[in-house]
Amino acid sequence: MRKKVTVVGAGNVGANCALRIAGKELADVVMVDIAEGVPQGKGLDILQSGPVEGYDVMVTGANDYEPTANSDIVIITAGFPRKPGMSRDDLLLANYEIVKTATEQSAKYSPNAILILVTNPLDAMCWTAHKVSGFSRNRVIGMAGVLDTARYRTFLGMELGVSIENIAAMVLGGHGDTMVPLVRFTNVSGIPITELLPKERIDSIVQRTRDGGAEIVKYLKTGSAYYAPSAGAVEMAESILKDKKKVLPCAAYLDGEYGYKDLFVGVPCKLGSMGIEKIYEIQLTAEEKVQLDKSSAAVQELVDVLKKKMAS
């Protein structure tokens, strides 16, 4: 029996998720979008690439959720993109409604699915999906740390002139301006980054990582990143579908870990067939903990806004 993945949202991120899943032959894909004809057209286009690219899975599009029934994974990408000068937080209430509806429908038709959230503001949207779905915490995961870490590794590789394959790194915290790249754990084939670059260059790269999304928004002017975000979501999906048990930084629901409760924060997670199979609680320095506290507080502010909305 083939695996099945639903991608909610047939925009740039969603369509690229579908294309990457098909290209890796991970599962049959159903794209869902409210725009009439768009998921059907893009699905057919991706399907017709198969004979050329050499993949053989079914890719379809729909404007309702019935064809998504019994999906193994649902990747939620639907939402308004950031515009120049717009913070992720500005998106909060607009995307809350979209994610709420997508989660309700996905949970109805695929009650055993694992949800991967990509919609911003990411950590707050994960919290929304968790509350609305009623799923156990291992089955609601946010794609943020994989993308932020990829950006961090990219900039380090550019600076050092080395293969990004040799760079091991990890970015924790909320997906936003307060994310926490852990310099202490960053190395190139085991060589600590602090031995290869002066502090001011590392600080500059950390800041560029934090501004990674905004930098792309500024260039594009009418949209936000989609190639790297879709790659991040599909890496997570692949680890789950193949039970690879990769350890990746993901937005996970914390219930006391790192001192936080009822909050999604980016932390190292083992991803396998059950979703999040383990949350790694690493010992942080005082400075790292202060940074993570600041990042978590930024997420908490958004969640508090959502709590008020849900109560009203």
Catalytic residues: 175
Q: What is the C-alpha separation between 309 and 50, in angstroms, rounded?
A: 45
Question: Half-sphere exposure of 68 toward its Cβ, with a 13 Å CA cutoff?
Answer: 32
Query: 30 pairs with which residues across the strands?
Result: 6, 60
Q: Which helix (H) or strand (E) holds 167?
A: strand 167-168
Q: How far apart are CA 97 and CA 172, in angstroms?
A: 27
Q: Is 125 exposed, middle or buried (0-12, 13-18, 19+ CB in 10 A)?
A: buried
248 closest CA partner among 153, 159, 160, 158: 153
Which three-class secondary structure state does DSSP give residue 4?
Answer: strand
Q: Which of 53, 59, 67, 51 is nearest to 14 (CA)?
A: 59
Helices 227-241 and 145-160, interaxial angle, to 10°?
Answer: 120
Tell me, what amino acid is at 105? Q
Q: Which of 188, 198, 125 is nearest to 152 (CA)?
A: 188
**b/e sequence 217-230, b meaning 16+ C-beta within 10 Å:** beebeeebbbebbb
Compute φ and ψ for 34, nearest 5 degrees: -75, -20
Ramachandran assignment for 37, one of left (phi > 0), alpha (psi -120 to 50 degrees), beta (any other): left
